[in-house]
Structure 1
Amino acid sequence: MSYLQPLFLFFLAGLCEIGGGYLMWQWLKADRPAWMGLLGAVLLVVYGWVATWQSTSFGKTYAVYGGVFVVMSIAWVWYFDGFRPDRFDVLGGTVVLLGLAVILFWPRS
């Protein structure tokens, strides 16, 4: 159970940051309504708040979150933009996930 809480929080932070950035992008680059930009800005603020719920230090939290962001971004673009990741995207995402698992979960002495 102790593994699920930080993973859930990283996932929630990723949804807020990527979703917020996506909405801002849509507003500014795809001529969508201003409410999308406002909602995007709110989600980006919520992302910063959610990240503080992690029990690890700032640096460790953001190091691990960087990996989560990479993998979630690949999934986001696949789902929302129809970009199909190739084997190198999948391989890179797998390497990133392994790295963040080492940083977050490797036993310390």
Structure 2
Amino acid sequence: MGAIAGSILIFVIAGFCEIGGGYLVWLWIKEDKPLLYGLAGGMLLAVYGVVATLQPAGFGRVYATYGGFFIVMALLWAWKVDGFRPDQYDIVGAIVALIGVCIIYYAPRN
């Protein structure tokens, strides 16, 4: 697997861990699900913190770039899991953010 594909995979796995973990905590607190939801969510959030460290770049660039991936994945999660339907502005904004962070992370540097 190429370096770019590998780093994108890490961003996606991190996104699933953070969004999935946050969603489980949300269900526990906001929708009165059992404590087990909150505990599982907390564990996933901890795993997210570890997964993000698998990126080769420094903290600032990794977390800035992850923000764009998070935007796209959060909208996809809300659409597929919660029935939220992104509108054209959500989609355009997510694309702009993703292009921006890809420039930040993948632009060739000396």
Q: TM-score range by the shorter chain?
A: over 0.9
Could you tell me which runs of 5 or more consecutive residues in structure 1 were left unpaired when the two chains were aligned. none
Could you tell me which runs of 5 or more consecutive residues in structure 2 were left unpaired when the two chains were aligned. none
Instruction: Write out the 4+ residue segments of structure 1 that deviate beyond 2 Å after TM superposition.
Output: none
Q: Deviations over 1:7-52 (max 9, x none)?
A: 0000000000000000000000001111111000000000001011
Kindly indicate whether residue 102 of structure 2 is the aligned counterpart of residue 101 of structure 1: yes
Kindly indicate whether residue 72 of structure 2 is the aligned counterpart of residue 44 of structure 1: no
TM-score (norm 2): 0.97
Q: Deviations over 1:44-86 (max 9, x none)?
A: 0000010111100000000000111111100010011101100
**What residue is the counterpart of 2:74 in the other structure?**
73
Question: How far off its partner does 1:104 sit?
Answer: 1.1
Q: Where in structure 2 are the equivalents of 1:1-109 lying within 5 Å?
A: 1-109=2-110
C-alpha separation in 1, matches of 2:65 and 2:42: 23
Q: Which amino acid aligns with 2:39?
A: L
Work out the number of aligned pairs and report it.
109
How large is the Cα RMSD of the aligned pairs? Answer: 0.6
C-alpha separation in 2, matches of 1:57 and 1:107: 15
- Say which is worse superposed, 99-108 or 88-97, in terms of deviation: 99-108
C-alpha separation in 2, matches of 1:46 and 1:61: 16
Q: Which amino acid aligns with 2:48?
A: Y
Identity between Structure 1 and Structure 2 (%): 50
C-alpha separation in 2, matches of 1:53 and 1:2: 12
